[in-house]
Amino acid sequence: MSMAPLLVPILSGTMVAATPLIYAAIGELVAERSGVLNLGVEGMMLIGTVTAFAVAFAGYPPVFAALAAAGAGALASLAFAFLALSLATNQYAAGLALTILGSGLSAFIGHDFGSSALKSIPKLHLPFLSDLPFIGPVLFHHDLMTYLALVVTGGIWWFLYRTKAGLVLRIVGESPESAHAIGYPVIRIRYLATMFGGAMAGLGGAYLALAYTPLWVENMTAGRGWIALALVVFAAWRPWRVMLGAWLFGGVTVLQLFAQGLGIEAPSELLSSLPYIATIIVLVAISRNPRTMRLNAPVSLARTFRPEG
């Protein structure tokens, strides 16, 4: 089998490719659960990427770069939240504005990075686990941020389904009017959810800089923010399914690097287009069934809410 020696790098690469998607999609999932649809994910990721580069180039350790990226993403989402929540503008337009602004700002700031490269964050060596045959290199030879993405996924699952705050978030997304009637501060909750989404998008962008491609290129997220949005739909707004979906997309992304080795004769552009085509396919599959959408999509998603009185 010519595939066997490639299986390890493919699977391992899948996890790496999935990491930025997991961060961005989990963040957006939390925002959408509260009823906010933020189309600015791509812009926030780019801001995260450029921030991480800037902080790292300035000499700070990667941890600072990642935290700064998260902060920048949260700040960027604040601008969107002000428009969409306090001023109750159309959420689609506000999100698009954030993406365009984020894309422009990040290109502007990153202009002077030239072709300097960052040193990638190290892969951790876990005693015993990393040395296991096959699953060692596949599962246990990753950097901290990849593991953290999984922890965040688990943490958000626990938050949503095991805590009162998570329950309140979910009901706000289902019916802000009823939640408001009971007495919950809907707008404030949505602000917090949106800013969490921004911080996560920022982290996802930071990962691209710190581990994925340590060389700044304009628009280096290449649409991952949009894919993250589709992932949330694909996952029916459930955290563990986001992770699965991210792995699926990560795998499709990584495939193009190994196609030749696998004996797949196809133009590289076709392989590169697979993630995007796959996104369309899963979107159609999920949206087709009105029942699935009705049961899983937060009912108030993207609808403006103006509290009375």
245, burial (CB in 10 Å: exposed 0-12, middle 13-18, buried 19+): buried
**Of the residues 31, 187, 200, 206, which one makes contact with other proteins according to CB under 8 A:** 187
With binding defined as CB under 8 A, does residue 158 bind other proteins? Answer: no
Give backbone dihedrals phi and psi of 97, rounded to 5 degrees, phi first: -60, -40
The residue (of 63 and 100) whose beta carbon lies closer to other proteins is: 100
Query: Cβ of residue 3: shortest distance to other proteins, in angstroms?
Result: 25
Interface residues for other proteins in 116-155 (CB under 8 A)? none
137-157 as b/e, with b when 16 or more CB fall inside 10 Å? bbbbbbbbbbbbbeebbeebb
Q: Is 159 in the site for other proteins (CB under 8 A)?
A: no
Spell 49-63 as b/e; 16+ CB within 10 A means b. bbbbbbbbbeeeebe
Pick the stretch among 15-23, 143-151, 244-252, 273-281 that binds other proteins (CB under 8 A).
Answer: 273-281
What backbone phi and psi angles, to 5 degrees, belong to 215? -130, 125
Residue 119, burial from CB neighbour count under 10 angstroms (0-12, 13-18, 19+):
exposed
Does 107 help bind other proteins (rule: CB under 8 A)? yes
Site stretch for other proteins (CB under 8 A), options 1-9, 195-203, 245-253, 263-271: 263-271
Q: Which of 120, 130, 213, 272 binds other proteins (CB under 8 A)?
A: 272
The answer to whether the CB of 196 falls within 8 A of the CB of 23 is: no
Q: Does 265 bind other proteins (CB under 8 A)?
A: no
Residue numbers at the binding site for other proteins (CB under 8 A): 39, 43, 79, 82-83, 86-90, 92-94, 96-105, 107-108, 111, 163-164, 167-168, 170-171, 174-175, 178-179, 181-184, 187, 218, 222-223, 226, 229-230, 233, 267, 269-270, 272-273, 276-277, 279-280, 283-284, 287-288, 290, 293, 295, 299, 306
